[in-house]
Structure 1
Amino acid sequence: MSVAIPDLPRGPFGRLRWALADGWTVTLRGLTHWSREPGTVIGGLLFPVMMVLMFGYFFGGAMEVPGGGNYREFLIPGMFVMTMVFGMGETVTAVSADKNRGVTSRFRSMPMAPSAVLVGRCVTDMLNSVLALAVLFAVGLAVGWEAHGSVADTVFAVGLLLLLRFALTWMGIYFGLLMKGPEGITLVQTLEFPVGFLTSAFVAPSTMPGWLGTIAEWNPLSSTVAASRELFGNPGWGGDSWIAQHATLMAVVWPAVIFAVFFPLSVRRFRTLTG
């Protein structure tokens, strides 16, 4: 029995259409998993909601915002960023599972665009992030948060959040391709917490010991937190350091650097997989 292998497209436009079509096919595969395993998706959406309720109501009464203001309005932009960070663990888990089960190798043996597997994974995770942001926006409004900035500023803030998630997605793809067992995945997911908490998401770095506050200020996540607070018109912690005064700029630069590092690493790792 012989199997007919379709001719590969020729020319840049033909290859682009081929890559987009195959990438969308892989994306649909990921979306199909959502419908078959809704518990995983729902759990991922509920976790940041519980974090908002816990910090906003359990600890919020003891929190003071530098310069005054409502702590929940201070908190919600930080939770938006934390949601983008926690999504990276889902990326690592999904990519590693496909690799270790041989699904990735099967895709690589098929006459499909080489970029489709990685691009499809990225698109699926970005759609998941949009859904997570929508849910958290609704929860934020329910607990008293409000975007006081203009429509343009609000859209720009959402764009910065998704830009961060896009960069972290490629970091997650690389680590997912790198991990060989559940121990590595657990390590990556565990590191999300100290990296995420050592930011300005929950408290102002000025309240930390000097050296720790400096690390928190220069954490790439803090730039997105500060920029989104400013664009949403929510209370911020201020800060007179260079990194604090240029938060919006660095909220673009940091994700660009992360993407520039981990995108080529992901492509290289994917090309050199042996099974």
Structure 2
Amino acid sequence: MTTTVRSDDTVSHRPSIHQTSVLQQSWIMVKRNMIHTKRMPEMLSDVTIQPIMFVLLFAYVFGASITNTGDVSYKEFLLPGIMGQTIVFTAFIVATGITADLEKGIIDRFRSLPISRSSVLIGRSIASLLHSSIGIVVMAITGLAIGWRIHNGFAEAVLAFALVLLFGFGMIWFGILIGSWLRSVEAVNGFMFSTLFPITFLSNAFVPTAPMPTWLRTIAEWNPVSALVQAMRVLWGNGPAAGPGSPWPLVHPVLATLIWSVVLTAVFAPFALRAYTKRTSD
């Protein structure tokens, strides 16, 4: 009987585990989501093909009938509205992503790893914001091709894009809440479509609010989306400016958008974290 002895250099060693911070863990989650998108490029259709379709349809179909936009062409009036709608639908993206990960058991695998539970949410949030930012860039390029222009300075232009991303961050927490609350992707799709479409269309995103009935105009003017869209129009010089007697959010849209973004985050974030914690503790 012979005994085989393996030398020390043939013994496999388990790689050492290094302690990582929440920031590092979150960045890994961002890369995981972006790699997933890279391997399934069809997932970008909602921020590439769809924005171009919306811009062209609204600009050339509805634009021919909408003329009460003051001294500004409907194309310039439209682009901030389309961008506002796109960033609102960031909540849709993050909600379906979280629900899909929960359904497939991926979150359970993450729970078995020595990582912070919050890193999964942070990574998903940043990845969703990057995903929607692609749509903003695509729409800006499409808008430039059909005649949209930024008439104010560089600082105002950058501030407008920053406001879009800040508002989107607030909407992400709404998406996390719904994605953690509902049990299937189908339920999330139905709920989000029936919620986000009325929010974006019942605003000044696509049409002026002046011709609306008084009760409907009041709702539209105090809609957070209206403040965001008006802020972009003011900062980009895409007017028209709020007229006499307009409500405070439209007279001071930049400040109103900042307030709405903070309020949305402060309201939805605690409930979203609680719902996610409860869902992943079952």
Going from structure 1 to structure 2, the CA distance change for 1:5 and 1:266 (only over 3 Å counts) comes to farther
Provide the C-alpha distance between the structure 2 equivalents of 1:241 and 1:183, rounded to a whole number of angstroms. Answer: 36
Structure 1 residue 4, shift from structure 2 partner: 9.4
Deviations 1:188-241 (A, max 9, x none): 133221111001001111111110000000000100000100000012262422
Alignment of 1:141-220 (within 5 A): 141-181=144-184, 182-220=186-224
Alignment of 1:206-245 (within 5 A): 206-236=210-240, 238-239=242-243, 240-245=246-251
Matched, 1:78 2:81: yes
SS in 2 for 1:201: coil
Provide the C-alpha distance between the structure 2 equivalents of 1:89 and 1:160, rounded to a whole number of angstroms. Answer: 19
TM-score normalised by L of structure 1: 0.91
Structure 1 residue 113, shift from structure 2 partner: 1.8
**Residue identity matched to 2:258:** V
Alignment of 1:123-138 (within 5 A): 123-138=126-141
Instruction: Return 5+ residue gaps in structure 1 as ranges.
Output: 10-16
Provide the C-alpha distance between the structure 2 equivalents of 1:155 and 1:44, rounded to a whole number of angstroms. Answer: 20
SS in 1 for 2:47: helix
Structure 1 residue 99, shift from structure 2 partner: 1.1
Provide the C-alpha distance between the structure 2 equivalents of 1:259 and 1:43, rounded to a whole number of angstroms. Answer: 24
Contact 2:234–2:241 (CA<8 Å) still a contact in 1? no
Alignment of 1:4-153 (within 5 A): 6=17, 18-153=21-156
The residue that corresponds to 1:248 in the other structure is: 254
Provide the C-alpha distance between the structure 2 equivalents of 1:183 and 1:53, rounded to a whole number of angstroms. Answer: 30
**Residue identity matched to 2:25:** D
SS in 2 for 1:29: helix
Matched, 1:266 2:275: no
What's the % identity of the aligned pairs? 35
Going from structure 1 to structure 2, the CA distance change for 1:101 and 1:5 (only over 3 Å counts) comes to farther
Please report the RMSD computed on the Cα atoms of aligned residues, expressed in angstroms. 1.8
State which structure, 1 or 2, has the greater radius of gyration over its C-alpha atoms: 2
The residue that corresponds to 2:9 in the other structure is: none
Instruction: Return 5+ residue gaps in structure 2 as ranges.
Output: 1-13
Structure 1 residue 75, shift from structure 2 partner: 0.5
The residue that corresponds to 1:12 in the other structure is: none
SS in 2 for 1:154: helix
Provide the C-alpha distance between the structure 2 equivalents of 1:177 and 1:202, rounded to a whole number of angstroms. Answer: 31
Provide the C-alpha distance between the structure 2 equivalents of 1:138 and 1:83, rounded to a whole number of angstroms. Answer: 15
Deviations 1:93-122 (A, max 9, x none): 111111122211221232112221000001
Provide the C-alpha distance between the structure 2 equivalents of 1:242 and 1:122, rounded to a whole number of angstroms. Answer: 31
**Residue identity matched to 2:90:** G
Structure 1 residue 44, shift from structure 2 partner: 3.3
